[in-house]
Amino acid sequence: MMKKYVYNTIIGPIEIVEEDGYIIKLGFSIDDKVEKEETSLIKVTYKQIEEYLLGNRKKITVPIKLKGTEFQKKVWNALLEIPYGKTMSYKQIAEKIGNPKACRAVGMANHNNPIAIIVPCHRVIGNNRKLVGYAGGVEVKQKLLEIESNKYKL
């Protein structure tokens, strides 16, 4: 059974959803259909997210389960390999997964990433180094990248 809890953070409200001992969603849109309950895993996840947002944690270490197509999972797993504080372009991700012409499909997989921040789609930028698209808004994407580069001031 899915459980969720919504927290207010320095980047706005985030929703964390757990199912069967795994985080399956961390996002910026709120789903009122899921039962609201703050489980111990959700609490641990939130604590680690808060530490990350304060610049005190580089890796979120909670169990996650990615739900999507095989292509999406391939993209999301490639995102998990982008180091903290680094960025890659959509083209570089497409090349990394062995499908160099799939830049737009990589963008759509990013758009559908169910576990923001933990699966760091915010680290994917345009080929021209511009920040493009993010579920939480480009301003949030910029803040996350600034946190990772130690340039963000609270």
CB neighbour burial string for 14-43, b if at least 16 within 10 angstroms, e if fewer: bbbbbbeeebbbbbbeeeeebeeeeeebbe
The distance between the two most distant Cα atoms of the chain, rounded to a whole number of Å, is 43
Closest C-alpha among 35, 80, 26, 73 to residue 53: 26
Q: Which two tokens stand for residue 34?
A: 């899921």
Instruction: Indicate which residue of 26, 64, 117, 121 is catalytic.
Output: 121
Active site residue 103: no
Catalytic residue annotation: 121
